[in-house]
Amino acid sequence: MSSKIKLALTTGMAVLLATTAMAQSMDELVAAAKAEGQLTTIALPHDWCGYGAVIDGFKAKYPEITINELNPDAGSADELEAIRANKDNTGPQAPDVIDVGFAYGPAAKDEGLIQPYKVSTWDSIPDSAKDADGFWYGDYYGVLSFAVNKDIVENVPADWSDLLKPEYAASVALAGDPRASNQAILGVMAAGMAAGGAAGKDSGDKGLEFFAEMNKVGNFVPVIGKAGTLAQGATPIVIQWDYNALATRDTLNGNPPVEVVVPASGVLAGVYVQAISAYAPHPSAAKLWMEYLYSDEGQGLWLKGYCHPIRFNDMAARGVIPQDVLDALPPAASYEAAYFPTLDEQSANKESVTAGWDAVVGANVQ
């Protein structure tokens, strides 16, 4: 059987499954999910976007469903590879759901790796952040920032160009491998835009040049930055989404003190998307998970984790966001210059970064 025929059959079956699921009542979906009894997630660190509270909330609401968590530090490319590698496997290594960078949603759809499902709150998700057929949909967004260990870094960098200064020797890390992690790939994009590159291939090329220079002067640390490496001083400056940086600041609780900086230029906003594997061993549990994530409750938990949920405007308009949650967010002015790259711009940037990192920068991030 040709690959095209296989893809057509896979897509057709997925549409049928999704149509059937959407015809279910919520009670029927809950019953079907409980009968499956398990949900397999991947790449969901508990300190990312408040996912720890989200997972706990789902477990409390549906205690009959066990959550099997795969590789919390996986990147978006790793998530798609996990689906490919487990197409014929219904065991514990086959993910039911994925949370990937914006550019990876359409790519997964084109490859036949995901199936469509429209949650009950579908109409309140902006059209620009979802696939019209329901294959993928935006979940939250943030901006790239610097998380800085103030016990080690005396002068906090204010912009991308500062990261090349001698005082930041062996200090700067990305929060992922730029050959696979969407967060890291967009970190390179933001640096490239700050250096004057237009969003797209140009930002990718200039971002690679920037990191090559940072590596050359000895400031770049080829380690995936996270809360532990920041606190220990192995990576005292970590380039990561603001919601991750703010969560790290809260988790460390002053030991060491952490300052979160939104750079003065190259303020890049990134949207992540959710999708259900076309080969999900637990499709009903996967759909119920999506219903939870896109409910007011699930969206509110992401917001508590400093992410801007995709339904933020709808919830704000209805007055259902607690004031204390709004008060805990960074000042709105920090986001005024944020640039939301288009899918084509992200795709061109991603191609430049993933293809050129080894040759241009030459730092094996791990």
Q: How far apart are the first and last CA of the chain?
A: 39
**84 in a structural domain:** yes
Question: Residue for token digits 């801007």?
Answer: 308
Distances (CA, A) of 62 to 45, 51, 72, 259, 292: 20, 16, 22, 37, 10
Per-residue pLDDT tens over the stretch 62-105: 999 999 999 998 989 999 999 999 999 999 999 999 999 998 99
* Residue 279: alpha-carbon gap to chain centroid: 21
* Contacts of 99 by beta carbon, 8 Å cutoff, 6+ apart: 43, 44, 79, 139, 272, 273, 274
Return d(Cα 137, Cα 125) in angstroms, integer.
8
User: Are 96 and 119 within one domain?
Assistant: yes
Query: Is the pLDDT higher at 301 or at 18?
Result: 301
Per-residue pLDDT tens over the stretch 99-137: 999 989 999 999 999 999 999 999 999 998 999 999 999
Helix and strand element counts for the chain (H, E): 14, 10
**147 in a structural domain:** yes
DSSP string, 229-259: HHHHTSSSEEEEEHHHHHHHHHHHTTSS-EE
* pLDDT level of residue 4 (50, 70, 90 thresholds): very low
* Residue 145: alpha-carbon gap to chain centroid: 14
Pairing relationship of beta strands 137-149 and 308-309 according to DSSP bridges: antiparallel
- Nearest Cα residue to 162 out of 316, 266, 252, 52: 266
Cβ 365 vs Cβ 224: under 8 Å: yes
* pLDDT level of residue 24 (50, 70, 90 thresholds): confident
DSSP state of 330: P
User: Are 87 and 31 within one domain?
Assistant: yes
DSSP element (H, E) containing 263: none
Return d(Cα 110, Cα 248) in angstroms, integer.
36
User: Are 186 and 312 within one domain?
Assistant: no
- Tell me the three state secondary structure of residue 287: helix
Domain CATH code at residue 222: 3.40.190.10
User: Are 207 and 349 within one domain?
Assistant: yes
Task: Kindly state the tokens that stand for 5.
Answer: 């025929």
**252 in a structural domain:** yes
Q: Average pLDDT of the chain?
A: 91
pLDDT at 22 over 60: no
User: Are 118 and 10 within one domain?
Assistant: yes
User: Are 287 and 245 within one domain?
Assistant: no
User: Are 196 and 308 within one domain?
Assistant: no
How many domains does the chain contain in total? 2
Provide the β-strand partners of residue 41.
69
**302 in a structural domain:** yes
Cβ 301 vs Cβ 54: under 8 Å: yes
* Contacts of 268 by beta carbon, 8 Å cutoff, 6+ apart: 143, 144, 186, 189, 190, 193, 338, 339, 341
User: Are 125 and 34 within one domain?
Assistant: yes
User: Are 201 and 347 within one domain?
Assistant: yes
User: Are 260 and 321 within one domain?
Assistant: no
Q: What angle do CA 19, 23, 28 make, to 5 degrees?
A: 125
Q: At what angle do helices 283-293 and 51-61 cross, to 10 degrees?
A: 120
Return d(Cα 103, Cα 93) in angstroms, integer.
24
**What are 250-256's contacts with CB under 8 Å, separation 24+?**
251/47, 251/227, 252/227, 255/231, 256/149, 256/150, 256/151, 256/152, 256/231
Largest CA distance in the chain: 63
Q: Name the least confident of 75-79, 96-100, 331-335, 358-362.
A: 331-335
- Nearest Cα residue to 276 out of 37, 73, 105: 105
User: Are 233 and 351 within one domain?
Assistant: yes
Return d(Cα 75, Cα 350) in angstroms, integer.
13
User: Are 184 and 284 within one domain?
Assistant: no
Provide the β-strand partners of residue 269.
143
Distances (CA, A) of 12 to 19, 114, 135: 11, 12, 12
**314 in a structural domain:** yes
**280 in a structural domain:** yes
**312 in a structural domain:** yes
pTM beyond 0.85: no
* pLDDT level of residue 19 (50, 70, 90 thresholds): very low
- Domain of 89, in residue numbers: 3-135+273-327
**277 in a structural domain:** yes
